[in-house]
Amino acid sequence: MIVKAIKTKIFKEGDNLFSFIVQHLKKIPEDAVLIVTSKIVSLSEGRVVDYQGEAAKIELIKSESDLAIPTKSVWLTVKDKMVMASAGIDESNADGKLILLPKDSFKTASILRLKLKKQFKLKQLGIIITDSRTVPLRAGTTGVSLGYAGLQGLKQYRGQKDIFGRKFEFARVSVVDSLAAAAVLEMGEGDERCPLALIKEASLKFQDRINRRELDIDLEEDMYAPFFAKAKK
């Protein structure tokens, strides 16, 4: 797999996302995956709010969340069927403002894919909108997919055999989150100015239709739910 981060000019609020991508990518190869950081998607949609103090920020976090629980350092929230800090509201690289998550990352990915396929005359193209997340009990952030188009998001191993002939009962791999993690590592989190990346020669399946719920797990079925319900400080 080859991952190449794309250095760009600074994306500003209200800029056209498609025009920005075409300006910085003169060519997209066949069977590639374009990674787009969610921050520039949000800026293109005007999902930006002036910072008006912590009280206003807390109300914004609550309004953007399906569930919000205060902790010592952040609000732990559930938004769009994902656990995240502060409903994904970000102050980094925001020039003193608050950047919310995109309205619908799956829809944006689908629209971008159709436009870029036409622009570059491609048969197969994947799009992933990414963000950064922390993992419980692990330091540091990794990339994660918020929405995608043009590729299968989940690879199933259930029913297949391992190297010793034992059948897998539960094993699945999140293809889009794995690709997002690799890309975000190359794109960086600071002043690298690489909001785009291209992935080539990855092990994946391209497809026109995707199931935007294929990665979701209900809370009652999540294997970690009992652990966190009983965990002590």
Domain residue ranges in the chain: 2-46+101-230, 48-100
Q: Are 189 and 148 in contact (CB under 8 A)?
A: no
Q: 């025009």: which residue's tokens? A: 19
112-153 tens-digit pLDDT: 999 999 999 999 999 999 999 988 889 999 999 999 999 999
Phi, psi of 206 (to 5 degrees): -80, 145
The answer to whether domain 2-46+101-230 has CATH 3.30.1330.100 is yes
Query: Cα(first)–Cα(last) distance of the chain, in Å?
Result: 40
Spatial separation of the C-alpha atoms in residues 59 and 95, rounded to whole Å = 21
Per-residue pLDDT, 53: 92
For residue 22, the model assigns a pLDDT of 98
* Residue 161 φ/ψ region, left for φ over 0, alpha for ψ in the -120 to 50 degree band, beta for the rest: beta
Scanning 121-233, the segments in alpha helix (DSSP H) are 175-187, 225-230
Dihedral class, residue 12 (left if φ above 0, else alpha if ψ from -120 to 50, else beta)? beta
pLDDT at 233: 46
Where the chain has pLDDT below 50, the residues are: 233
Are residues 165 and 148 in contact, defined by beta-carbon separation less than 8 angstroms?
Answer: no
Question: Can you list the positions of beta strands (E) in 166-232?
Answer: 172-174, 196-200
